[in-house]
Amino acid sequence: MSLVWGMPVIWLMAPFSMAEDWAQLAFYLSVFVVSGVKFMVGVAMSLARGLSFWEQFLCTTVGGIAGSVFFTYLGDAIRRWISRLRGRSPKPLATRWVRLWERYGLWGVALLTPPILSPPVGTAIALAFRTPRGLLIKRLTIAILLWGFVFAAFGEGFRTLIHTLSGQD
């Protein structure tokens, strides 16, 4: 082992590895936050960075669930605040959201929230129809866990396919 000033070289590398650890932690946190607002963007970020199945699954699903809880309990206050900023009252739900609710109900909205709608939109639609908050959280959690598993498995399969096609092991 090489020595510099009587200390192993590993001590000189410690600040650089700590910086890399902080950068990785900051990336996990950014995927967590983004997934709470727009689930699919968090999935895309984790796929682009090449996160493992569990890293992607945990960051996106925990972020999506946290965003759903946040918007379920603080969404009304946020909506009032935005209305005051705009100087007008909130608009009623668009007819397409009403039709979606009438056709598919809470399960339909919950299952469409992660891949298409996003946690704030899916939560707003369900709350507009007076869905009990506890029930909404349970259904959104199930949907987010399901989609998180599907997208993490897709990412892992895609990564394996790329490695196989490129001849890497």
Q: What is the pLDDT of residue 90?
A: 75
110 falls in which pLDDT band (50, 70, 90)?
very high
Q: Average of pLDDT values for 145-155? A: 95
Closest CA to 153 of 60, 67, 63: 60
- pTM tops 0.85, yes or no: no
109 falls in which pLDDT band (50, 70, 90)?
very high
| Structural element, H or E, at residue 4 | strand 3-4
Q: Average of pLDDT values for 70-76? A: 90
Kindly report, residue by residue over 85-108, the tens digit of the pLDDT: 888 887 777 888 899 999 999 999
Q: What is the pLDDT of residue 152?
A: 94
Q: How far apart are CA 138 and CA 145, in angstroms?
A: 11
Q: Average of pLDDT values for 129-140? A: 95
Q: How far apart are CA 11 and CA 20, in angstroms?
A: 15
78 falls in which pLDDT band (50, 70, 90)?
confident
Closest CA to 127 of 165, 74, 62: 74
- Which has the higher per-residue pLDDT, 29 or 18? 29
Q: Does residue 13 carry a pLDDT above 60?
A: no
Q: What is the pLDDT of residue 43?
A: 94
Of the candidate ranges 45-59, 74-88, 109-123, the one whose mean pLDDT is the lowest: 74-88
- Backbone torsions φ then ψ of 91, nearest 5 degrees: -75, 150
Q: What is the pLDDT of residue 8?
A: 55
Q: Does residue 10 carry a pLDDT above 80?
A: no
Q: What is the pLDDT of residue 92?
A: 76
Q: What is the pLDDT of residue 6?
A: 52
| Residue 75: alpha-carbon gap to chain centroid | 17
Q: Residue 167: how many CA atoms within 13 Å on its side-chain side?
A: 0
